[in-house]
Amino acid sequence: MNKLIYVLLTLLITSITFSSPYSVKAEAVARGTLYEDYYFGRQINILDILNENKLLGNREIYRGKNIKVGVLDTGIDYKNDGLHVQGGISTINNIDDYMDYNGHGTHVAGIISSSKKHNNRTIGVAPEAQIFAIKSLNNEGNSKEKSIIAGVQWAIDHDIDVLNMSIGTETDAKGVKDVLESAYKHGIFIVAPVGNSDYPESSHITYPAKYSSVFAVGSVNNKLKRSFFSNVGQELDIVSLGEEIYGPSLNETYTYETGTSMASPYVAGVAAILLSANHNLTNSELKEILLLSADYLGAKTEYGYGIINIPKALNLALLKKNNIKLYNYKLNLYKNMMVYRKIMDNKIPPIL
C-alpha cells in the first residue's frame, strides 16, 4: 500500500505543461529518508557528496562564481536568505514581481545554488552562481507558449550563461523551438527534463528537452537505476538524481521533491561549476564535456550517456584551459570508450 501511495504521489509531482486544458500543481512530498552513504555507514544528502567531489588536486573548490543562471519556472521565493536572486521578470504579466507562490521554482533554484545549509545539509550545487528568476509559469504550474518564448528571450537579452527549464509538454511549438535555437546560437547552455510520464514507447521525451538545442536530463534513484517515471528515448543526454531531493520551498520551509524536474537543475548547477572554472567554454563544449565524462549506466534510451560525474567533467574543463594537448588526448580516449559502449549495447561484435 505504501508503495502504491508513493507511485501515485510521484506521478503528481513536477508535471508542468504549457498549453494544456488541465492543471497539475507542482507539489512537494515531505519525506524523512536521506540517501545512505554506504562507505561511511551514515545517511547524508546526496548534494553533500556532489559538493565534496568538487575538491580537486589543486585544492580549489569551484562554486559557480560570476556565472549567470536563469531559472525559467514558477518564480523564486526571493525572501529566502539562502537564495541570492539577482533579478528577474514575470513574463505572465510582464512585471518585475517574480515571487513564487507554487514552490516548484524555489526548490529548483535551491538545487542549483542555495548557499544556506539546513540541518547541516548542503543544498546548492553551485552556491556562488548568480540566480535570475524567469517566472513564465503561473501559480498552478502552467503556462502559455508566448510566456515561454518571452522568458527565453529575456534570458537572451540579459546574457544568461545557463538556462534551466524544468518544464515539459507534448506539444511541438515552433515559436518555442525557434527562440531556443536563437538562445543556443547566443551561447546559452539550455537544460530541461525529459518528463515524468513513463510511456512504454521507445521514445517519448517531452519538449523542450526533445529539441537539439536543449540538454535533456533523465532521473535515476539513489541506487543509480532509472526512475520508473523518467521518460526514455534517443534524445536523452544524461541522467542525474531525481528522487526525494531535499531543498528549499516557500516561507523558509524545506521539503523533498521527486521528478525529472529535480534532476535537471543538478546538471544546470554543474554547468555553472564548469563555467566558473573555465568561462571560455562554449555551450557545445560544455555539452561534449558533460557527455564524455559521464559514468556509463546502461542503454542509451534509458540512461543517455550515463550519470553526471563532477570531478571528471571539471578536470576536462580545466584541461581545456591549461593543457589543450592533454585535453584532446583525453577527449579522444573517452570518445573511443563511447564507441565501444555503443557496440556492446547493440551486441555488435567489434572488428579486431
User: Annotated catalytic sites, by residue?
Assistant: 73, 104, 261
Nearest 5°: phi and psi at 335? -65, -40
Nearest 5°: phi and psi at 90? -110, 115
**What does the CA dihedral 332, 335, 339, 344 come to, rounded to 10 degrees?**
120
Cell 505504501: give the residue: 2
Print burial letters for 216-236: b (CB count within 10 Å at least 16), e (below 16): bbbbbbeeeebbebbbbbebb
Extract the C-alpha cell encoding 213: 538545442
Residue 215, CB half-sphere, CA atoms under 13 Å: how many?
31
Print burial letters for 251-290: b (CB count within 10 Å at least 16), e (below 16): eeebbbbbbbbbbbbbbbbbbbbbbbbbeebebebbbbbb
CA distance 217 to 232: 10
Across 194-342, where does the E strand assignment appear?
214-220, 238-241, 245-248, 254-257
